[in-house]
Amino acid sequence: MKIGVFVCHCGTNIEGTVDTAAVAEAAREFPGVVFATDTMYACSEPGQDEIIDAIKEHKLDGVVVASCTPRMHEPTFRKTLERAGLNRYLFEMANIREHVSWIGKDREANTNKSVDLVRMAAAKLLNNKPLNAKFFDMNKRVMIVGGGVAGIQAALDCADGGLDVILVEKTSSIGGKMAKLDKTFPTVDCSSCILGPRMVDVAQHPNITLYACSEIEEVNGYVGNFSVKVKRKATYVDWDKCTGCGICMEKCPSKKADNPFDEDLGKAPAINIPFPQAIPKKAVIDPNFCIKIKRDKCGVCAKVCPSEAIVYDQVDEFVVEEVGAVVAATGFDLVDWTVYSEYGGGQYPDVITSLQYERMLSASGPTEGHIKRPSDGKEPKNVVFIQCVGSRDKSIGRPYCSGFCCMYTAKQAILTKDHCPDSQSYVFYMDIRSPGKMFDEFTRRAQEEYEARYIRGRVSMIYPQGDKLIVRGADTLMGDQVEVDADLVVLAVGAEAAVGASDLAKKLRISYDAYGFFMEGHPKLKPVETNTAGVFLAGSCQGPKDIPSSVAQGSAAAAKVLAMFAKDQLESDPAVSVVDIKRCIGCGKCISTCPFGAIKEVDFRGQPKAEVIETICQGCGICTATCPQGAIQLQHFTDNQILAEVNAVCRF
């Protein structure tokens, strides 16, 4: 094999700490290498043309590019090779940027290491074989997990694009966090007036199947052919019959159930429709509070239900859906603020969260839009907002900025003045972060027009005095201590990954970061893709986002799904396992270890042998390490290829 080596400067990214010319010179001595050079930007158009010209001029049959991580530009250079008429697998990359130039400044050591990495790549390349992709059919249906605003947008866009959409939501209604909001920033328009019609669109769209009260149980398969088992949790109400009239709610004698939709402000009946615009508008019984289910007494709802929809002995059901792509849109949860003992840690009823306050402001909320202190129901005069509760705080492991708290606090300060014209709002803040369109103007309006007093500093403690709460904090601009007599304290809590996000990530085989948010394929260039083909992300499950960003990402995920499904067939990665039938003894160990069921037993002249189903094989190579005979080899990562790299780096 005639190998060409191209050592990229990457501007000064590599050249700054690696002598690329020396690396190229050293590479000329490696077995098989007939041509080596350094180049300014290998990935640029002139860089790629240089590679193509060299392939033609020196009749190269393999190329090594020493540059950045293959996770970045391996596909780019493989295409370059194809343009020059070579097979794309006759290519290797040496990662001398992320793994060398960026992690050390010692030029000699870096150059030395780069030479080794190029030697390893060239040694591996000598053992590479041309591989050709196969094509396979896909199931052009998509599953969206999570029915918040991002999931709704993704579902509608996919459905409008002609796809069959299955929308899975774990609570009894779609709408997510946005449905709980009273108004949205910076336009102060009514949240449910914008979201409500979109929710109705979901319900009425002929292409969308909605599974509310449902969760993902198991995900099998691979891009284009996922098989997802969905758990439809028991609601104790036959939804085919329930008309959402609400009589059961009125008559239910148990009114002590948790009320997650109202953020546990107030209680709910044991049979409940969470809010008037709920989609689907169906009742659900909370079995922990239903007297009939717990003690076999009562049964009022069954008696009053005009459509005989109550089924007390309903059990969880499972459905399996075949889809080609999955969009995760599971959103976020609020940080548990009770860890902050200085803010009362859940002891004082008049210290509430921003989302609880939002429910209080909402006309369909527990106080019907009146601001009332939870302790005595009085209208507050002094309302204190404390920002960065659970965000930008290393001490509780939440060092990141949640991004939207500055804005919703400004909105709530404005709304407070609207609801109670005599009130005075105080906002304790660290910085005001309002980079969106019309955002800064909005926070200024809260201060200038609505006279909210913004105090830069942290609150050190809150303690009760009479029926007031004393909020003591620092004013770092004045260099002074401040104390405010508050009637109500609202904590602007930050976002964290949704409960159960990591479980879903494991089922979908996608990665998540240290905080539990799902990882995108590339922070800049693949914001809605994951590293698992066919799984996309939308909304706050990837990191805290406001409504416009969530909607944009929902549409972006839908565009990616539609683009994928626009092809007739998907191309499979040809780097799959193959069986050497002469060596295979038919022991079946590979069959039992393969996580994908991609290996089957076949009969070869009366002998059992293993055979790989190419389109199912994902190229992990677990079988290769399992086979006692070395009969099954993962192409492109064969034993010989890996050992060639080992030999290139070892010294005896």
Partner 1 sequence: MPVLEGKELRIVGFLCNWCSYGGADTAGVGRFTQPTDLRVIKVPCSGRIDPLFIVKTLMSGADGVLVSGCHPNDCHYAEGNFYARRRLEMLKRFIPMLGIDPDRFDYTWVSASEGQRWQEVVTKFTEQIHKLGPAQKIEGPEAEETLKLMEASL
List interacting residues with partner 1 (CB under 8 A): 26, 69-71, 95, 97-100, 102-106, 108-113, 115-117, 120, 505-506, 509, 511-514, 519, 531-532, 575, 593, 595-596, 618-622, 624-626, 630, 634, 637, 639, 642-643, 645-647, 649-652
Minimal distance, residue 93 CB to partner 1, in Å: 9
Shortest distance, CB of residue 616 to partner 1, whole angstroms? 12
Q: How far is the CB of 95 from partner 1 (least distance, A)?
A: 7
Q: How far is the CB of 102 from partner 1 (least distance, A)?
A: 4
Residue 30 vs 340, nearer CB to partner 1: 30
Q: Which is nearer to partner 1, 477 or 499 (CB)?
A: 499
Q: Which is nearer to partner 1, 356 or 577 (CB)?
A: 577
Shortest distance (Å) from residue 165 CB to partner 1: 26
Q: Which is nearer to partner 1, 499 or 646 (CB)?
A: 646
Beta carbon nearer to partner 1, 94 or 361: 94
Give the tokens for residue 251.
């008559």
CB 384 within 8 A of CB 489: yes
Tokens 């677990």 belong to residue: 622
Are 541 and 498 in contact by the 8 Å Cβ rule? The answer is yes
CB 212 within 8 A of CB 144: no
Burial bucket for residue 177 (CB in 10 Å: 0-12, 13-18, 19+): buried
Q: What is residue 264's DSSP assignment? A: T
Q: In 10 A of CB 432, how many CB atoms?
A: 19
Please give the torsion angle defined by the CA atoms of residues 54, 56, 59 and 65, in that order, rounded to the nearest 10 degrees: 40
Q: How far is the CB of 168 from partner 1 (least distance, A)?
A: 21
Alpha-carbon distance of 91 to 4, in angstroms, equals 10
Best CA proximity match to 20, nearest among 2, 46, 52, 47 = 47
| Smallest separation (angstroms) from partner 1 to the CB of 583 | 11
405 CB contacts (<8 Å, ≥6 apart)? 354, 387, 388, 391, 492, 493, 494
Instruction: Considering the complex, state which of residue 113 and residue 141 has its C-beta at the smaller distance from partner 1.
Output: 113
Q: How far apart are the C-alpha atoms of 429 and 493, rounded to whole Å?
A: 12
Residue closer to partner 1, measured from CB, 596 or 604: 596
What is the closest distance, in whole angstroms, from the C-beta atom of residue 556 to partner 1 in the complex?
A: 21
C-beta closer to partner 1: residue 332 or 408: 332
Minimum separation from the CB atom of position 94 to partner 1 (A): 10
Residue (201 or 639) nearer to partner 1, CB: 639
Pick the closer one to partner 1 by CB: 127 or 531.
Answer: 531
Cα-atom radius of gyration of the chain, to the nearest Å?
30
Shortest separation between residue 20's beta carbon and partner 1, angstroms = 14
Residue whose CB is less far from partner 1, 278 or 498: 498
Smallest distance, Å, CB 18 to partner 1? 11
Q: Please, which residues bridge with residue 652 across strands?
A: none
Cα distance between residue 523 and residue 560, in whole Å: 16
Query: Quick one: 111 or 153, whose CB is closer to partner 1?
Result: 111
Alpha-carbon distance values, 347 to 337, 350, 390 (Å): 11, 9, 18
Instruction: Estimate the share of the chain in helix, then strand, then coil, as percent rounded to the nearest 5.
Output: 30, 25, 45
Q: Which tokens hold the place of 36?
A: 């080596």
Measured from the CB atom, is 393 or 645 closer to partner 1? Answer: 645
- Report the alpha-carbon distance of residue 341 to residue 460 in Å, rounded: 10
Alpha helices by DSSP H, 28-69: 45-57
Other Cβ atoms less than 10 A from the Cβ of 262: the count is 23
- The least CB distance from residue 36 to partner 1, in Å, is 14
User: Are 54 and 4 a contacting pair, CB within 8 Å?
Assistant: yes
Which of 53, 51, 64, 61 is CA-nearest to residue 96? Answer: 64
Give the span between the Cα atoms of 631 and 617, in whole angstroms: 16
Minimum CB–partner distance for residue 29 and partner 1 (Å) = 10
CA separation for the pair 126, 122 (Å, rounded): 6
> Quick count: other Cβ atoms within 10 Å of Cβ 156?
23
Peptide bond into 75 cis (omega under 30): no
